[in-house]
Amino acid sequence: MIFVIAKPFIVVNSGEMGIKATAGKFDPIPMEPGFHLFIPFIQQVFIVDTKVRIMNYSSTEDLGEVSQRGSGIKRNAAISVLDARGLPVSIDLTVQYKLEAAKSPQTIATWGMAWEDKIINPVVRDVTRSVVGKFNAEELPQRRNEIAINIEEGIRKAIEAQPGQPVELLTVQLREIILPVKIKEQIERVQVAKQEVERTRYEVERTNQEALKRAAEAEGQAKAKEINAQGIAKAIKIEADANAYANKEISKSLTGELLKLRQIEVQGRFNDALRENKDAKIFLTPGGSTPNIWVDTKDKQQQTSIK
C-alpha cells in the first residue's frame, strides 16, 4: 500500500529524458526512455521533452491559447522592430530547435524548466531586431531573402555560443514582414507606377515592332516592284535586240542584185497592167522594197490593184 502511494518508479517515454534530483542535486546522467526506480521523498524525477520543438512569433495567432502538454509548440507575440528611421515593423517567425538530450541535466540545473524562454526567446528577438533595424521599412520586402538568411545565421551563431551548447537549432523561417500602413501604401503606389512604366515600355516596344514590320513589308513590296520592272525592261531590251538583229540580217540580204531583180519584177507587172488597160491611170504607192501598183480603169466597177 505504501509502495503504491509513494510510487517509487517512473516511466520515461520516447522523445523524453528523465532528470533525477537527489536532495535537490541533479544527477549529471539523464534517465533514458524506459522504467526507472527512485527513492520517494528523497529523490525527484523531472521529465523534459527532447523532441523537435517549435516557437512561433505571430501577430495573428491566438496568443491566449495554452498549448497542450506534449504539443511542443510555444506561441509568442510578433517581434516588434524599429527600422533604420525609427518606424515600427512587426516580424513573424517560426523557430525549430530541440534540447540536447545528453546535456539536459546541466541545462535544467542552469536554466530551469523554463529554459526555452531564457535561451531561445531572447536570442531570437535580439538578433531579429539587430538585423531588421539596419534597413528602411520600404526596403524590407525587396530584401526579404537577405534578411531571412542574416536572421538565421545570427540566431544560430548566438545559440551555438551558449555555454555547453544546450540546444540544437534546426531552422528559422521568416514568415511575414508587417509594415506600417503608410509605408505599405507607399510601396503599393511605387509598384503601380513601376507597372505603368513597364506597360508603357511594352506598348512602345510593340509599336516599334509593328512599325518595323510595316517598313519591312513596304521595302519588300518596293523590291518586288523593282525586280518586276527590271524583268520587264530586260524583256523589252531582249526583244529590241532581237528585232535589231533581225533587221540587221535582213538588211544584209538586200544586195544590189536582189534589188535589181525586184525592180525587174515590178517593171514586168507595170507593163502587163498597161497592156491590159491602155487608158488606165496607174498609181505607184510605197510598199517596202516592192511598190504597190494601183490601176484605175475608166470603168469605176473594174478598179484593181496589183502588188
Q: Is residue 144 part of a domain?
A: yes
Does the pTM surpass 0.75? The reply is no
Q: Which amino acid is at 189?
A: R
Nearest to 149 by CA among 168, 129, 125, 173: 173
Q: Do residues 13 and 103 share a domain?
A: no
Give the domain-ending residue among 179, 196, 218. Answer: 179
Tell me the residue range of the domain where 40 lies: 2-48
The pLDDT of 272-288, averaged and rounded, is 61
Whole-angstrom distance, CA of residue 167 vs CA of residue 112:
14
Q: How many CB atoms lie within 10 A of CB 253?
A: 7
Residues 6+ away with beta carbon under 8 Å from 51: 15, 16, 72, 98
Q: How many CB atoms lie within 10 A of CB 23?
A: 8
Q: Do residues 55 and 99 share a domain?
A: yes
Tell whether the model's pLDDT for residue 131 goes beyond 50: yes
Q: Is residue 171 part of a domain?
A: yes
The pLDDT of 143-163, averaged and rounded, is 95
Whole-angstrom distance, CA of residue 193 vs CA of residue 189:
6
Residue for cell digits 533587221?
247
Q: Do residues 289 and 279 share a domain?
A: yes
Q: Is residue 32 part of a domain?
A: yes
How many angstroms from the chain centroid is the CA of residue 104? 50
Q: Do residues 109 and 136 share a domain?
A: yes
Q: Do residues 69 and 172 share a domain?
A: yes
The pLDDT tens digits of the residues spanning 194-248 come to 777 887 888 888 888 888 888 888 888 888 888 888 888 888 888 888 888 877 7
The pLDDT tens digits of the residues spanning 83-110 come to 998 999 999 999 999 999 999 999 999 9
Q: Do residues 81 and 8 share a domain?
A: no
Q: How many domains does the chain have?
A: 3
The pLDDT tens digits of the residues spanning 43-96 come to 899 999 999 999 999 987 554 444 444 578 899 999 999 999 899 999 999 999
Burial (0-12, 13-18, 19+ Cβ within 10 Å), 200: exposed
Q: Do residues 70 and 7 share a domain?
A: no
Tell whether the model's pLDDT for residue 156 goes beyond 70: yes
Q: Do residues 58 and 135 share a domain?
A: yes
- pLDDT of the residue at 6: 62
Q: Is residue 211 part of a domain?
A: no
